[in-house]
Chains A and B, each alone.
Chain A
């Protein structure tokens, strides 16, 4: 069975601070995908990144960066120089590498960025 653990529930930072959101996953599959989604107060899910299990390269996209470590089964997300608009709930998710596999979500981390 797959499982995603986001141990942090709420994080509050001051604007311009860096913040790291942790994600630890469990799966028995060798092929799987990891995702991060942002859910602003409006409710829609905004796709941030997808990483397959064979690609351990870290990725940077603007102020966002992701650190994928298979050895620790972690896929952490860092926001540098945080902004108020980053305030949202962030979900880490996992899916197996099969055709109709479902997405398993973590419980989400509520990030509040104060001006």
Chain B
């Protein structure tokens, strides 16, 4: 079946540094990918919708200059947390939609970011 892979699965960084998280669709082409953020014991909150070849669409309240999203190919989207701070520590999950809009989403394994 379809697989979405995220890397790294966990990362620890110092405050002020930037961290890049990759989301790859392994056996299908994804024109649309979604980035979610989940704080401990809370639900998943959509951060942005990433469309291949165009700018990402950010949800209200999400800083686009802080959370840079690039969807350069049909199989890869990246989320870069710039100048990370401890409050950015969270679980980031991406999901990908098949090229043909079926309503079905596939989720990555998630990336746990800890900013010291």
Binding site for B on A (CB under 8 A): 33, 35, 37, 43-45, 47, 50, 52, 91, 95, 97-108, 110
Contact = CB atoms under 8 A, between A and B. Distances in A.
Contact of B34 (A47, A97, A102, A107): A102
A43 B110 CA distance: 7
A105 B107 CA distance: 13
Given A44-B110, A45-B93, A100-B97, A95 B103 contact: yes
Nearest to B45: A105
Given A43-B110, A97-B103, A104-B46, 8 more contacts: A33-B103, A35-B105, A43-B112, A44-B107, A47-B106, A99-B32, A102-B46, A103-B105
B109 A44 contact: yes
Contact of B101 (A99, A104, A105, A110): A99
Interface of B: 32, 34, 41-46, 49, 51, 91, 93, 95, 97, 101, 103-110, 112
A49 to B, nearest CB: 11
Given A91-B44, A107-B42, A107-B43, A98 B101 contact: yes
Nearest to B31: A100
Contacts of A52: 103
B18 to A, nearest CB: 23
Contacts of B105: 35, 95, 103
B27 to A, nearest CB: 16
A82 B32 CA distance: 36
Q: Which 10 A-B pairs have the closest CB atoms?
A: A99-B101, A33-B103, A45-B107, A44-B109, A107-B43, A43-B110, A105-B44, A105-B43, A100-B32, A102-B46
Contacts of A104: 46
Nearest to A52: B103
Nearest to A32: B103
B17 to A, nearest CB: 23
A100 B57 CA distance: 11
Contacts of A97: 103
26 contacts: A33-B103, A37-B107, A43-B91, A43-B109, A43-B110, A44-B107, A44-B108, A45-B44, A45-B107, A45-B110, A47-B106, A50-B103, A91-B43, A95-B105, A97-B103, A98-B101, A99-B32, A99-B101, A100-B32, A100-B49, A100-B51, A100-B101, A102-B46, A103-B95, A107-B43, A110-B41
